[in-house]
Amino acid sequence: MTTALITGASSGIGAVYARRLAARGHDLVIVARTADRLNALAAELRKAHGVAIEVITADLIEGPQLEPVLQRLRSDPPIDILVNNAGAGLIGDFATADPAEMYKLLRLNVLVPTLLTSAVIDGMVERGNGAIINIASVLALIPEYARGIYPATKSYLMTLSQGLAAEMASKGVYVQAVLPAATRTEIYERAGGDISKVPDVMEVEDLVDAALVGFDRRELVTIPPVPDAAAWEAFEQARGVLASGFSNSKPAARYRG
């Protein structure tokens, strides 16, 4: 029996991951701030799938509430799959954003997944297996399509996933970055937006089912809406071409006087 810990499991993408992973027979640790939602989900999944569900009610940006989650990631039974999903948006331009709100977003979208991953990874490496799923966003690749710092928080998560995957390649730990585009969840309303104005919104069950196909295939980056996998491969190839120019002791000719 394996155990998955899912942050932000009380709604949206996290709640669907909880349902799907429980249906696959995983025991779960589900984490979010809203106790009644988590308890209702836990009761539903115990009944439907006979799996063990632990509930941790925590505001992850509050240090004392984060601590029990970090402790759980370091303890037994071991966490085999960590889903770094809890996250939020922040509507508006960088110039007018409230620094206190930016600080909270950076804690939730950047610091929290980093610390949770740090807490779980030693055990995974010791056991020689484990998986970390980071819910980033297509905005990591197209920050110009949004405003403020939200896309940058998602770029961080994607870059962290790529670097970590390289480090973990020989250690049996699988890392996946999932890049959803617009998906029907509460995130828009929570941030003061209006999902009815967003075109081409994916249903959350479709998003998670596709992400799990990518998981089963051990993809490093899964972008459910992209129709042709060759587009991503071409992007990666272009990155390789660019990287081949990084090893030079002198600036390129176009920068020399």
Ligand X SMILES: N[C@@H](C=O)C(=O)O
Q: Which residues bind ligand NDP (CB under 6 A)?
A: 8-14, 32-34, 37, 59-61, 85-88, 108, 135, 137, 180, 182-183, 185-187, 190
CA 135 to chain centre: 2
* Least Å from the CB of residue 210 to ligand X: 15
User: What span, in angstroms and rounded, lies between the C-alpha atoms of 238 and 193?
Assistant: 35
Query: Of the listed pieces 54-62, 136-144, 217-225, 243-251, which binds ligand X according to CB under 6 A?
Result: 136-144
Instruction: Give me the DSSP letters along the chain.
Output: --EEEEESTTSHHHHHHHHHHHHTT-EEEEEES-HHHHHHHHHHHHHHH---EEEEE--TTSHHHHHHHHHHHHSSSPP-EEEE-------S-TTT--HHHHHHHHIIIIIHHHHHHHHHHHHHHHHT-EEEEEE--GGGT-GGGS-TTHHHHHHHHHHHHHHHHHHHTTTTEEEEEE---SBSSTHHHHTT--GGG-SSPBPHHHHHHHHHHHHHTT-SEE-TT-S-HHHHHHHHHHHHHHHTTS--SS--GGG--
Q: Is 139 in the site for ligand X (CB under 6 A)?
A: yes
Q: Is 137 in the site for ligand X (CB under 6 A)?
A: yes
* Least Å from the CB of residue 182 to ligand X: 5
CB 123 within 8 A of CB 74: yes
Closest CA to 200 of 123, 145, 251: 145
Residue number closest to ligand X, CB atom = 137
Residue with smaller CB distance to ligand X, 67 or 98 = 98
Compute the radius of gyration of the chain from its Cα atoms: 19
Residue 150 annotated as catalytic: yes
Residue with smaller CB distance to ligand X, 136 or 164 = 136
* Least Å from the CB of residue 245 to ligand NDP: 32
Residue with smaller CB distance to ligand X, 110 or 139 = 139
Q: Residue 174 binds which entry of ligand NDP, ligand X, none, with Cβ cut-offs from 5 to 8 Å by kind?
A: none
Query: Of the listed pieces 70-78, 165-173, 179-187, 212-220, which binds ligand X according to CB under 6 A?
Result: 179-187
Residue with smaller CB distance to ligand NDP, 125 or 201 = 201
Q: Is 108 in the site for ligand X (CB under 6 A)?
A: no
Positions 69 through 98 that interact with ligand X (CB under 6 A): 89
Residue with smaller CB distance to ligand X, 60 or 136 = 136
* Least Å from the CB of residue 190 to ligand X: 9
Q: Residue 156 binds which entry of ligand NDP, ligand X, none, with Cβ cut-offs from 5 to 8 Å by kind?
A: none
Q: Given 17, 103, 150, 156, which residue is catalytic?
A: 150
List of residues contacting ligand X (CB under 6 A): 89, 137-139, 181-182, 187-188
- Catalytic machinery residues: 150
